[in-house]
Amino acid sequence: MLLEPPTRLTPDEWARQNRVYPPSAGVPGPRNPALTPYVIAFERAVADRTHKRAVLVLCAQAGKSDALLDIIGHHFDQRPAPMIYVGPNKQFITEQWEPRITELLDQAPALRQKVARGKRMTKTRKVIAGVPLRLAHAGSSTALKSDPMAIALTDEADELMRNVKGQGDPITLVDRRGETYADFVHAIVSTPSAGQKETYVDEESGLEFWSELEPEDIQSKIWSLWQEGTRYHWAWRCPHCAEWFIPRFSCLDIDPKRMSPAQARQHGRLICPRNGCVIEEEHKEAMNAAGVYVAPGQTIDADGVVHGDPPESNTISFWVSGLASPFVSWADRAESYVAAWHSGDPEEVRAVMNAGFGELWSPAGGDVPEWEEVRKLALPYHQGDVPDGVVFLTAGVDVQKNRLVYVVRGWGARQESWLISADELWGPTEEHDVWLDLEDVLASEFGGLRIARAFIDAGFRPGRLDAVPEHRVYEFARRHSRQVFATKGFDKRPTPLSVNRIEVTPRGGKAKYGLDLVRLDTDFFKSWVHERLRWPEDQPGGWHLYEGITEDYCRQIVSEARVKKPRAAGFQWVRTSKQNHYLDCEAMAYAAAYMLGVQRLRDDARRPVVRQRPVRQEDEEQVGVGRPQRRRREGWLDGGSGGRERWL
């Protein structure tokens, strides 16, 4: 029996001939891979071994476990070689997965007589057709580093630990098991977890694909692996307009703000994103049967044939929306999401988005504007220009290890504001040079105005305490105490802003000096910024940007989301991207304006007339092109006695 070559089959064909579900199963009887046609391409990609990795991103209870069982059975019947299956933990392996493996081996006619019984069969090691199938969990570094394997299967990759006992990432450890096999393939499946998600519409195909994100904006391991690959999306043809589209959560016809869970269930239908056609549940089976995979750069013709090449990669990767699952109706999906949304618990929403729709969960929850909306707030003026409505200027500065990020904003009546400048000053912040550059900025004039107040975040301390004893932010604020304040943000404060006197020890001495530290309610000031992003155009109080504002700035403004604290009163701000510095700067710029009373500016408020004394020759010699803090002779330049307020 072992010597007789089997008939060559694909994994789905093999499963159709060899697997039968018991009466207790949800769909009893012979295995029908066509019920979940979106897993067939993944199964065949693993069997073909044309890529080093095959990745499938799928919602829960949509057929991924059966796909792995198809691959295991087909492999040991058709091309037996050592295989390892990696699960998230030991309990999952022994209580859930091992019984299913045993059932597969006892059930399949092609495998039943090829299994070594008795002592050679253990809970975590099976011998089939003379070669081993090892069942391992991600917490065991020994199991992940032992014998070489021809095929590896990793299940629920997003539940694996990041570092296995100091040995490294489990995905990489498993990859190393196949180095001795030229055609080794690592198949990885999982539901996704957290990360920022964006889409774009391909101009040629008209299809809406997931955007390729920066790695630091993705917490989900499986999504990162999928993004590294070919990025195939499961696509449907609309039964009404015959246009192809990629189903996702946004196609579901629900509005949780105006619907109860019961009402959402009644509206369990899809809206075709191409022409707005209403698609009912009864069309799902036919759309799945005719569905195809398409990658960015490819097109689908009227006959459903895909044209073009996918992105080049050693990983072939597939994503399927949870809407394609034949086991859960769209009405159930809609009801579950709206119920989670009304619960106010972000973790419940996360569970529905990940396990129900197979999509990344972003803390924004859909309430934060897209970055393109921010860019639309630009008006026809240039960086450095000061529009007529500006009465005074403030600045917000965020401190990083290798740079200072700042914004300068102008303020007018009804808290209307205009971005004057936004930039980064590069250099190690434990050194003096970058702070000299900041002095240049704060001493600059914009349209005849100087910056009235600047807030600098003191939450990050540049340099080690032993190397840089004095806090650079405190030192800078002390030297420019008339203009600059050090700040610290808190989740919640009794008042939006409070000033407290603190004692700071200068470098090299025991004496202390007093310094005003401004404590900010970050929820109050960041909420104000986000509220202004969608301010009505016909109402005073708009929040404006200059022409040519960068995409990076716009993305950072919407890089955090305000979400309700789970099982607690209040809200918290959660990052959707690691680059959030301009949002912090804008919040501090508004806090500085708030301290100056911007909320009390009358409609007839006008900027002060700036009168400057004639520049003397000795001033020109001192000023030249040097930096302001090197100009020690004149107090009006460095914040000393009779400082900038005299010239404003």
* pLDDT tier, 165 (very low <50, low <70, confident <90, very high otherwise): low
Greater model confidence, 448 or 344:
448
Q: Return left, alpha or beta for 603; rule: phi > 0 is left, psi -120 to 50 is alpha, else beta.
A: alpha
CB of 402 closer than 8 Å to CB of 423: no
Run of H or E including 455: strand 449-457
Residue 368 has a CB neighbour count (10 Å cut-off) of 19
pLDDT value at residue 641: 34
Let me know whether 394 and 534 are in one domain: yes
Bridging pattern class, strands 513-521 and 497-504: antiparallel
Last residue of a domain, one of 305, 326, 357: 357
Let me know whether 223 and 288 are in one domain: yes
Residue 4 has a CB neighbour count (10 Å cut-off) of 5
**Cα–chain center distance at 473:** 31
3-state secondary structure of 378: strand
Instruction: Report yes or no on 110 lying in a domain.
Output: yes
Query: 354-389 pLDDT, tens per residue?
Result: 999 999 987 655 456 778 889 999 999 999 999 999
Structure tokens given for 471: 């806090």
CB of 423 closer than 8 Å to CB of 606: no
Distance CA 468, CA 453 (A): 26
Query: 451-471 pLDDT, tens per residue?
Result: 999 999 998 877 665 555 468
Q: Would you list the DSSP string of 471-487? A: -HHHHHHHHTTTTEEEE
CATH number at residue 535: 3.30.420.240
Greater model confidence, 142 or 431:
431
Let me know whether 231 and 323 are in one domain: yes
- CA atoms lying within 13 Å on the CB side of residue 348: 15
Among 163-177, 191-205, 230-244, 507-521, the range of highest mean pLDDT: 230-244
CA torsion, ordered 43, 303, 289, 105, to nearest 10 deg: -20
Let me know whether 632 and 541 are in one domain: no
Instruction: Report yes or no on 235 lying in a domain.
Output: yes
Distance CA 216, CA 195 (A): 9
Residues 112-134, mean pLDDT to the nearest whole number: 87
Structure tokens given for 629: 């803090």
Give the Cα-Cα-Cα angle 43, 49, 50 (nearest 5 degrees): 110
Distance CA 460, CA 471 (A): 9
Distance CA 628, CA 293 (A): 61
Run of H or E including 278: strand 278-279
Crossing angle, helix 11-18 and helix 40-48, to 10 degrees? 110
Least confident of 161-165, 218-222, 258-262: 161-165
Query: 472-498 pLDDT, tens per residue?
Result: 899 899 999 999 999 999 887 888 999
Bridging pattern class, strands 83-87 and 151-155: parallel
Answer whether residue 263 shows pLDDT above 90: yes
**Nearest one of 447, 419, 362 to 192, comparing CA atoms:** 362
Query: 2-50 pLDDT, tens per residue?
Result: 567 778 899 999 999 999 988 877 788 899 999 999 999 999 999 999 9
Instruction: Report yes or no on 329 lying in a domain.
Output: yes
Residues 86-91, mean pLDDT to the nearest whole number: 88
Tokens 């693993």 — which residue?
46
Model-level pTM?
A: 0.71
Instruction: Report yes or no on 1 lying in a domain.
Output: no
Separation of first and last alpha carbons in the chain? 96
SS3 content of the chain, % helix, strand, coil (to 5): 35, 25, 45
**Nearest one of 247, 248, 249 to 239, comparing CA atoms:** 247
Distance CA 455, CA 470 (A): 19
pLDDT value at residue 508: 45
Let me know whether 321 and 467 are in one domain: no
* pLDDT tier, 342 (very low <50, low <70, confident <90, very high otherwise): confident
Let me know whether 592 and 625 are in one domain: no
**Cα–chain center distance at 361:** 8
User: Which amino acid does the sequence have at 40?
Assistant: I
DSSP state for residue 133 in the 8-state scheme: E
3-state secondary structure of 159: helix
Let me know whether 337 and 417 are in one domain: no
Structure tokens given for 383: 């960086």
3-state per-residue secondary structure call for 551-588: HHHHHHHCCEEEEECCCCCCEEEEECCCCCHHHHHHHH
**Nearest one of 68, 50, 49, 48 to 58, comparing CA atoms:** 68
Distance CA 423, CA 406 (A): 6
Let me know whether 35 and 122 are in one domain: yes
* pLDDT tier, 450 (very low <50, low <70, confident <90, very high otherwise): very high
Let me know whether 324 and 229 are in one domain: yes
Distance CA 528, CA 266 (A): 36
Instruction: Report yes or no on 333 lying in a domain.
Output: yes
Instruction: Report yes or no on 348 lying in a domain.
Output: yes
Query: 574-620 pLDDT, tens per residue?
Result: 777 788 999 999 999 999 999 999 999 888 887 776 555 554 555 44
Question: Residue 157: which domain range?
Answer: 31-190
CATH number at residue 159: 3.40.50.300
Instruction: Report yes or no on 15 lying in a domain.
Output: no
Distance CA 483, CA 453 (A): 5
CB of 12 closer than 8 Å to CB of 1: no
Let me know whether 445 and 497 are in one domain: yes
Let me know whether 648 and 559 are in one domain: no
CB of 155 closer than 8 Å to CB of 190: yes
Distance CA 581, CA 573 (A): 14
Give the Cα-Cα-Cα angle 320, 323, 324 (nearest 5 degrees): 60
Kindly calculate the radius of gyration of the chain based on its CA atoms and give it in whole angstroms. Answer: 31
Structure tokens given for 560: 């955090």
Distance CA 136, CA 307 (A): 40
Question: How many residues are listed for the chain in this entry?
Answer: 648
Structure tokens given for 146: 């032992």
Residues 494-506, mean pLDDT to the nearest whole number: 82
Give the Cα-Cα-Cα angle 387, 486, 585 (nearest 5 degrees): 40
Last residue of a domain, one of 190, 225, 258: 190
Distance CA 480, CA 498 (A): 19
Bridging pattern class, strands 244-245 and 208-210: unpaired
Domain count, the chain: 4
pLDDT value at residue 461: 79
Let me know whether 526 and 509 are in one domain: yes
Instruction: Report yes or no on 4 lying in a domain.
Output: no
